[in-house]
Chains A and B, each alone.
Chain A
Amino acid sequence: METLEKTKDYASIKNQGTISLQDVPVVSYSKFTAVAGELLGSETRHCVNYYAYPFQKGLKFIFCVADDVEHDIKLVSHELPADNKKQLLSLAREFFSMHVFERELHENFGIDFIYHPWQKPVRYAFNRFDRNQVINNYPFYKIDGNELHEVGVGPIHAGIIEPGHFRFLCNGETVLHLEIQLGWQHRGVEDLFLKKSSLIQRTVLSESIAGDTALGHSLAYVSMMESLGGIQVSERLELERTIGLELERIAMHVGDLGNMNIGLAYQLAASVFGTLRTPVINYTQTWCGNRFGKGLNRVGGSHYPFTEDLSDKLITLLDKFDASFDPMAERMFSLPSVLMRVENIGKVTEKQMRLIGAVGMTARMAGIERDIRESHPFAAYKTYRITSETFLNGDVWARAMLRKIEIKHSVGFIRDLLAKLKDMKEPVSKPTAEMELRLAPNALSVSLVEGWRGEICHCAVTDAAGKIVHYKVKDPSVHNWFALALSLRDLEISDFPINNKSYNLSYCGHDL
Chain B
Amino acid sequence: MIATLLILLTSLLFPGIIVKVKAIVSGRKGPGLLQPIFDIVRLMKKGNVYSTTTSIIFQVGPVIYFVTILCGVFFIPFGNSQGIISFEGDLILFVYFLGLGKFFLILNALDAGSGFEGMGANREALYSMLAEPAFLILVATFSMMAGYDSFSGIFAHWHLTTGNSLVLSVLASYILIQLAMIENSRLPVDDPKTHLELTMIHEVILLDNSGFDLGLVQLGNAFKFGIYGALIANFVLPEHQSLPVRALVFVAVIIVFAVIVGLLESFRARFKIEKNPQFILTLSSIAALAFIVALIITNKLL
- A residues lining the B interface (CB < 8 Å): 149-153, 158-159, 173, 261-268, 270-271, 275, 335, 337-338, 340-341, 345, 492-497
Residue of A151, A265, A496 near B270 (CB, 8 A) is: A265
Q: Which residue of B lies closest to A270 (CB)?
A: B26
Q: A150, A265, A340, A496: which contacts B198 (Cβ < 8 A)? A: A496
Contact B187 A494 (CB under 8 A): no
Contact of B9 with A by CB under 8 A: no
Is B195's CB under 8 angstroms from A340's CB?
no
Docked pose: A335 CA to B266 CA in angstroms: 13
Most buried by A among B199, B269, B272: B269
Asked if B27 contacts A271 (CB within 8 A), the reply is yes
A492 touches B269 (CB 8 A): no
Whether B198 pairs with A153 at a CB distance below 8 angstroms is yes
B137 on the A face (CB < 8 A): no
Q: How far is the CB of A490 from chain B (nearest CB, A)?
A: 12
**Pair B273/A494 contact, Cβ less than 8 Å:** yes
B26 touches A268 (CB 8 A): yes
**Is there an interface contact between B269 and A151, defined as CB atoms closer than 8 Å?**
no
Q: What 1/0 flags go to B139-156 for Cβ under 8 Å of A?
A: 000000000000000000
Within 8 A of A (CB), among B116-132: 116, 118-119
Known A173-B273, A335-B268; judge A494-B199 contact (CB<8 A). Answer: yes
Whole-angstrom CA separation of A353 from B272 in the bound complex: 25
Show 23 A/B contacts (Cβ-Cβ < 8 Å), sorted by A: A149-B115, A150-B115, A151-B116, A153-B198, A173-B119, A173-B274, A261-B269, A262-B194, A263-B196, A265-B265, A265-B270, A271-B27, A271-B28, A337-B268, A337-B271, A340-B269, A340-B272, A341-B269, A341-B270, A341-B272, A493-B198, A495-B272, A497-B198
> By the criterion CB–CB under 8 Å, are B116 and A275 in contact?
no
Asked if B269 and A494 sit within 8 Å, CB to CB, the answer is no
Interface of A is mostly: helix
- Quick one: closest A residue to B272, CB to CB? A341
Q: Is the CB of A265 within 8 A of B115?
A: no
User: Contact between A265 and B272 (Cβ–Cβ < 8 Å)?
Assistant: no
A261 cross-chain contacts in B, Cβ below 8 A = 269
Q: Does B197 contact A (CB under 8 A)?
A: yes
Bound complex: CA of A95 vs CA of B193, how far in Å? 44
The contact string, 1 if C-beta is below 8 Å from chain A, for chain B 243-287, is 000000000000000000000011111111111000000000000
Whole-angstrom distance between the alpha carbons of A266 and B22 in the complex?
11
* Residues of A contacting B26 in the complex (Cβ-Cβ under 8 angstroms): 267-268, 270-271
B269 A337 Cβ-Cβ under 8 A: yes
Known contacts A149-B115, A267-B26, A492-B274; A335/B198 CB under 8 A: no
Once the chains bind, are B198 and A267 in contact (CB under 8 Å)? no
Q: Are A266 and B269 in contact (CB under 8 A)?
A: yes
When the two chains form their complex, are residues A265 and B274 in contact, meaning their CB atoms are under 8 A apart? no
Contact flags (1/0) for B151-170 with A, using CB distance below 8 Å?
Answer: 00000000000000000000
Cα–Cα, bound, A121→B263 (Å):
49
Q: Is B191 an interface residue (CB 8 A)?
A: yes
Q: Are A337 and B274 in contact (CB under 8 A)?
A: no
State in angstroms the CA–CA spacing of A153 and B200 once bound together. 14
Instruction: Output the nearest chain B residue to A497 by Cβ-Cβ distance.
Output: B196
Residues on B with C-beta less than 8 A from A152 are 115
A275 to B187 Cα, complex, angstroms: 23
Interface string of B180-217 (1 = CB under 8 A from A): 00000001100101111111000000000000000000
A-B pairs with the 4 shortest C-beta distances? A271-B26, A266-B269, A264-B269, A265-B191
Tell me, in angstroms, the Cα distance from A493 to B118 when the chains sit together: 13
**A146 to B274 alpha-carbon distance, docked (Å):** 23
Nearest residue in A to B194 (C-beta to C-beta)? Answer: A265
Residues from chain B with Cβ under 8 Å of A265 in the complex = 187, 191, 193-194, 265, 269-270
Which residues from chain B contact A268 at a C-beta distance below 8 Å? Answer: 25-26, 266-267
User: How far does the alpha carbon of A262 sit from the alpha carbon of B193 in the complex, in Å?
Assistant: 9
Once bound together, how far apart are the Cα atoms of A263 and B198, in whole Å?
11
From B27, B115, B272, B275, A275 is in contact (CB under 8 Å) with B27
A149 to B119, CA, bound (A): 10
When the two chains form the complex, which single residue of B119, B270, B274 contacts A264, counting CB atoms closer than 8 Å?
B270
Q: Report which of B28, B199, B265, B274 forms a contact with A497, defined as CB distance below 8 A.
A: B199
Bound: A275/B26 CA distance, A: 10
Residues of B within 8 Å of A341, CB to CB, are: 269-272
- B residues in contact with A275, CB < 8 Å: 27
B262 vs chain A, min Cβ distance (A): 10
- Contacts A158-B195, A262-B194 known; 11 new A-B pairs at CB < 8 A: A151-B198, A159-B195, A265-B265, A268-B266, A268-B267, A335-B268, A335-B269, A341-B272, A493-B198, A496-B198, A497-B198
